[in-house]
Structure formats: structure tokens, C-alpha cells
Amino acid sequence: MAWDFSTDPEFQEQLDWVAQFCKDEIEPLELVFPWAVRLRARDPKMAAIVDPLQQQIKDRGLWAVFLDKELGGPGYGQLKLALLNEILGRYGLAPAMFGCQAPDTGNMEILAAYGTEEQKERWLKPLMNQEIFSAYSMTEPHGGSDPSMFKTVAVKDGSEWVINGEKWFTSAGRAADLLFVMCTNGIFIVPRETPGVEFMEYPSTHNHIRYNEVRVPLDHLLGPEDGARVLAQRRLGGGRIHHAMRAIAQCKRAFDMMCERALSRESHGKLIAEHQMVQQAIADSYAEINMLRLMVLWTAWTIDNSSTQASRTQIAACKYTAAKVLREVAYRAIHIFGSLGATDLTPLQAMWAGSPTMGVMDGVDEVHKVTVARNVLKDYRPHEGLWPTEYYPAKREAAQKKYADLFAKDPDLLKYAQGMQRSGRH
């Protein structure tokens, strides 16, 4: 049985390079040009800054690392991707700089897995090259993310599909070139400028969209008709674990800030690091972050050695645990920072505010907890009779039968055993 917590030296060298590259190049770029990647396709000035940096990433084989080899990526697998995301997730711009930004990652994955050769040539390559961007239009205002409640439908009319319905919380939809629209009878690729695609004024980031008689050609259906749920699970399973990976990075960033602050500020005549409440916050955060990290890495390893489907219970547990840990760690860090933590002058407010979003996107936490509970209970059976399996009197009676022959030969040994039991052992 192999049990190893080490990283192979060759990949560790890559991780070290990524950490230094993000600190030296990506963080300054993000602070000065936060929309640089989105703008590079149509702004030569941004392209002149971004392209040389992305070329360095490509030269090291770190571009679009989420895709398997058969889908056009480097095929690192989920465990290496988790270790990489521990670094990338610390910087808002880093995933896009490495060609693995959400929501494009999930859309590219299902396009690579289920798209026709013509669809891949038409949409996948431009998405991978960041010539265009995409969004995933699934949730509906009346039914949330429950697909059994969806009403958006595509009806075939000659050489076209006609889509009617309403979608809510389409992240980055307004900035996308393509919308992957989940209908009751399939997933359809809809260019944003298609007539009938109507964006509501609010929300500004996670958009509310109405599809009014939206017409797309028949070849804009991705995968088989009525295959929406299969494609969605393929997409969302990977998305959930990737969110959890990046959440670790955010938690560690908040933790680093917390510890630095504790050693830098005084209160009531001593460093705040010497106050027991601060020490408790640090100790609890340390334990929670590392428990989350180990669960995410274990889940990533399981996916690599089985499949996303076989790991769905672990993925669900990672998803809601990541939201909880991020919320708790960010909240403690805000308290240790005091009034500064309550402003938008550090990343802490955004981390804390982002944790509820993580708790509802890709399926609300409560649904995932139900999934975990149901799947776990499948491996258990009810006990027979009145008493539970761990009821001591029944277990002791069964255990004494094991020694029946020995007691028959030596009655004093039986009395000795009974005396031990009466003395309070069990």
C-alpha cells in the first residue's frame, strides 16, 4: 500500500516557478490592469503586455492544465491541478493568465468531450486561445439549480432551434461571446449577440437573461438531444472540485494575513498574537485549512484513480466544506485586522463576501449535504433486533462464547472475568 504526501521534484520545480511568476508578474498586472486578459483580444496595448507572459506559461507546458491529453491539454490530472490551484487561486487574474478561468474551463471541457470536430474547430480553439469567452446559463429564477424545475426549452423549427425561457445567475454572461444554455432537452451554444437574447439590468456580474424566440442553427446543439443532465454533471463535477482547490488558496492567503497582523499590532500592552482569543483563531484556522486541503487532495487523487462520477460523494463534501472554511477563516482574519478588515483596502472583505456565493453556486450546500448523507448511508445496514451493534451487553455475551471452552476447563477464570466486568470495565 502506497501512502505518500510528497510531490515529485520535477513538478515541485514547476510549482515553485508558478509561485514566483505569480508574485513577480501576475499580481502587479492584476493591480494595474485587472481586465488585461479579457481586453487583450481587442486591445493591442493589452496584448503587448499579456501575450509575452502567457508565452512563458505555454513554454513550460502549463497552459489549459485542466484538460486531459485526449482533450488537448497537458493531462496533469486532478491531483497536480489541485496543487497548482493552491497557488493560482491566490490571485484573481492568475487562472485567466494560465488559460483555466471559470466559467470557460467547464464549457471547454464539455465541448472537448462532446463536441463535433466542426464545433471544436469553430469554438473550442478560439476559447482555448482566449480569442473569445463563454458563460454557462443554467440556473432559472423560479427553480434555482434544480433541473427538474427548468422550463427553458428549444423547439426544432426547420433548420433551426428556437429557444424560449429565462435564466438567472449566468456568471459573466454579459461579457461572454458564447452562452452555453441548458434547456430541458439539451445544451445549446448561443452567441451572445443572437437576436432575442435579452440581458436584465440586474445583477451586474451574475446576469439575469431572457431568451425570447432565440434562433440558432441545428448544429448549435452540443452533444445528444436530451443529454443536458449528463453534460451538466460532467461539467459541474469538475467545476466543484476546482472551486474547492482555489478556495484553499484564498483561505491560506487570509491565514497569512492573519498571522502577519497578529505579530505586527499591539493591544492592551502586548502583541495581539499573545491574546488567547487571537491564538484560538489562528489555531482553529490552521486545523480547518489543513483538513480541507487534505480532503481536496484526497478527492483529486480519487478522481485520478477512478472518475469524477465515482468521486461524487467526496466532491460534494469538498464543495460545502470549502465554503464553510473560507467563511470562517476570512471572518476571523477580518476581526484580527479590526477596522481595516472592515474596509475594501485588503482582500478580506471580498473573501468573506464571496463565501456565501460559493455556498450557492454549482448547487446549494444543503443539496450537496443531502447527497453525501444518502451516499454514505448506502454502505450501512440497520441492526437486527432491539439493540445496536455496539451495545456492550450483547457484544460481551457473544465474546464470552469465544472463551466458552476455556471457562469450562477453569471456572475460576470465568469468575475472574465476571469480576472485571463488575468493576466497571464497560
What pLDDT shows up at residue 332? Answer: 98
Query: Do 320 and 411 lie in a common domain?
Result: no
Query: Do 243 and 365 lie in a common domain?
Result: yes
Query: Do 250 and 358 lie in a common domain?
Result: yes
Asked whether the predicted pLDDT for residue 69 surpasses 60, the reply is: yes
Q: pLDDT over 90 for what percent of the chain?
A: 80
Q: What are the Cα distances from residue 267, in Å, to 256, 260, 264, 275, 345?
A: 20, 15, 10, 9, 22
How many separate domains does the chain show? 4
**pLDDT band for position 425 (50/70/90)?**
low
Query: Do 238 and 309 lie in a common domain?
Result: yes
Query: Do 217 and 234 lie in a common domain?
Result: no
Query: Do 44 and 141 lie in a common domain?
Result: no
Query: Do 197 and 88 lie in a common domain?
Result: no
Query: Do 173 and 151 lie in a common domain?
Result: yes
Has residue 203 been placed in a domain?
A: yes
> What CATH number did the domain enclosing 308 receive?
1.20.140.10
Has residue 99 been placed in a domain?
A: yes
The DSSP result for 239-266, as a single string, is: HHHHHHHHHHHHHHHHHHHHHHHHTT-E
Separation of alpha carbons 394 and 382, rounded Å = 16
Query: Do 183 and 234 lie in a common domain?
Result: no
> What CATH number did the domain enclosing 53 receive?
1.10.540.10
Q: Render the burial of 163-201: b for 16+ CB within 10 Å, e for the rest.
A: bbbbbbbbbbbbebbbbbbbbebbbbbbebeeeebeeee
Are 187 and 135 in contact by the 8 Å Cβ rule? The answer is no
Relative to beta strand 134-137, strand 178-183 is: parallel
Q: What is the 3-state secondary structure (H, E, C) of 287-344?
A: HHHHHHHHHHHHHHHHHHHCCCCCCHHHHHHHHHHHHHHHHHHHHHHHHHHHHHHHCC
**pLDDT band for position 67 (50/70/90)?**
confident
On the 0-12 / 13-18 / 19+ scale of CB atoms within 10 A, 47 is middle
Has residue 274 been placed in a domain?
A: yes
Residue 403's domain comprises 392-422
Has residue 141 been placed in a domain?
A: yes
pTM, to two decimals: 0.90
Has residue 121 been placed in a domain?
A: no
Q: Which residue has the higher pLDDT, 11 or 146?
A: 11
What pLDDT shows up at residue 198? Answer: 98
Residue 280's identity, in one-letter code, is: Q
- pLDDT tens for residues 114-136? 999 999 999 999 999 999 999 99
Asked whether the predicted pLDDT for residue 89 surpasses 70, the reply is: yes
Among 165, 193, 222, which residue terminates a domain?
A: 222
Query: Do 108 and 143 lie in a common domain?
Result: no
Among 222, 244, 264, which residue terminates a domain?
A: 222
Cα 259 to chain centroid, rounded: 26
Are 301 and 80 in contact by the 8 Å Cβ rule? The answer is no
Q: Which residues contact 366 (CB under 8 A, 6 or more apart)?
A: none
Has residue 120 been placed in a domain?
A: no
Average pLDDT over residues 211-227: 97
- pLDDT tens for residues 320-343? 999 999 999 999 999 999 999 999
Has residue 233 been placed in a domain?
A: yes
What pLDDT shows up at residue 188? Answer: 98
Query: Do 319 and 291 lie in a common domain?
Result: yes
Query: Do 170 and 282 lie in a common domain?
Result: no
Has residue 2 been placed in a domain?
A: no
